[in-house]
Amino acid sequence: MKRILCFSVLILLGISLTGCAEVKLLERVGLTTLIGFDLGEKEDVETTAVVRQVGTNLESTVSIISAENETTEGTGSKINYRTAEKIVSGQVRGVLFGEELAKKGIGHYIDTMLKNPTISDGIYLTVVEGEARPVLEFQYANIPEIGEHIYKLLKQNIQNEQMVSSTLHEVAFDYYTVGRDIAIPIIKRDQELVSISGIALFDSSKMVGTLSVEDSFYVKLGQENFRAGRNEIIIKGDDLPSSLLPTQVDEISIVFDPIKTKKKVKLVNPEQLEFDIHIKMQARILEIKQNINVGQAKNAELLEKAINKRLESEIGRVIAYSQEVGSDIYGLGEYYRSVVRHSNLTEEKWHELYKDLNVNIDVDFTLIRSGVFE
């Protein structure tokens, strides 16, 4: 009897607590779907929030609200002062950093977001060419909600392995790991469209350089293994043997799909700091902008050698640029730290070493004939 009484009290207590909990019905809150951070004109940071408000008939409206303050939490409070509904951040799917703010440093924002339990570590981070606010405030004829649109733009390109991934979890890992630096997408407004325009490279938390959107393929090749993907490369005519083409051309374009790669990194000389990066790649050629019969084994072999040479050259170029700007986007410092005992590696020490190290690239490309691969 005593047990039954205690059980009943617990149930009543649970019902009572549930009744006291804050009820966040959709029509009573504003759902923030995207946040942009820029340098403020009067105060440290300007926050622009894309807020979706759902009516009683489930119709939704989107508002773009900005505020300046010394802190991001302060801007959140000021944005709340300008809305009829309470703003909540549980539906945030992306964060944009204006270019000047990114150059000053995004470390504080990464740290603040990680401490906020309402923000998922799966949201995407990106840099905007220029400022974030004008991109979010622009009235696009064919984009009903800019927050959802930018999220889908990033998601589909990252999931299809066309762009480096930039979830909060991944960016924070690179930021806090000694011997790794951040590389995240750049977007820009192009008339009535928003498009991915490149990759931002960071030295610790500060943006120090950019690569083209096409270079995403070479960045990803050095960072991780592909499981799918599609890419186009251009091979100079001088790198093609004369037996492969009936007439000399300036260049040819080749499109691969799908791509599977395996990467190995080895520190071959800890004293002089020399790394070997070996990349094994299998791909099916979808299109060649010149008439080459790749069905013949000899032609396929010659083409594979030309592709190897091109890929090694392009990866080498990307590494040389990242060394020039001081951004270890391939995480070579992390490899160094894992194999050299008692290295006592710090960010400052590694960036001094990183700019002068040597990297040998070896690509082993195998052409998979259509049908055989499948």
Q: pTM score, two decimals? A: 0.86
User: Residue 258, exposed/middle/buried by CB under 10 A (0-12, 13-18, 19+)?
Assistant: middle
Could you report the per-residue pLDDT of 167-178, keeping only the tens digit for each?
Answer: 999 999 999 999
Spatial distance between the Cα atoms of 235 and 252, rounded to a whole number of angstroms: 5
Looking at residue 182, the DSSP 8-state letter turns out to be -
**What confidence score (pLDDT) does residue 39 get?**
95
Q: Does residue 246 have a pLDDT over 80?
A: no
pLDDT at 362 over 90: yes
What integer pLDDT is reported at residue 231 of this predicted model?
86
CA 312 to chain centre: 23
The CA dihedral of 63, 35, 183, 356, to the nearest 10 degrees, is 130
- Residue scoring higher pLDDT (126 or 69): 126
pLDDT digits (tens, 9 = 90+) for 34-54: 999 999 988 889 999 998 887
Per-residue pLDDT for 20 more than 50?
no
Please say whether the beta carbons of 359 and 332 come within 8 A. Answer: yes
The residues near 138 (Cβ < 8 Å, ≥ 6 apart) are 146, 189
Average pLDDT for residues 252-273, to the nearest whole number?
A: 89
Q: 265 near 335, Cβ under 8 Å?
A: yes
Categorize the per-residue pLDDT at 61 as very low, low, confident or very high, splitting at 50, 70 and 90.
confident
Taking residues 156-184, what's their average pLDDT? 95
- Stronger pLDDT, 75 or 152, i.e. the higher one: 152
Dist. CA 27–CA 109, nearest whole Å: 29
The residue to which tokens 């992390």 are assigned: 334
pLDDT at residue 260 is higher than 90: no
Max alpha carbon distance in the chain (Å)? 97
What value does the mean pLDDT take over residues 227-255? 83
Q: What is the pLDDT of residues 295-325, one digit of tens each?
A: 788 888 888 999 999 999 999 999 999 999 9
Query: Do you find a cis peptide bond into 258, omega within 30 degrees of 0?
Result: yes
Task: Dig out the tokens for 324 from the structure.
Answer: 């020039």
Share of the chain above pLDDT 90, in %: 55
In the predicted model, what is the mean pLDDT of the chain?
86
pLDDT band at 15 (very low <50, low <70, confident <90, very high): very low
Q: Tell me how long the chain is.
A: 374
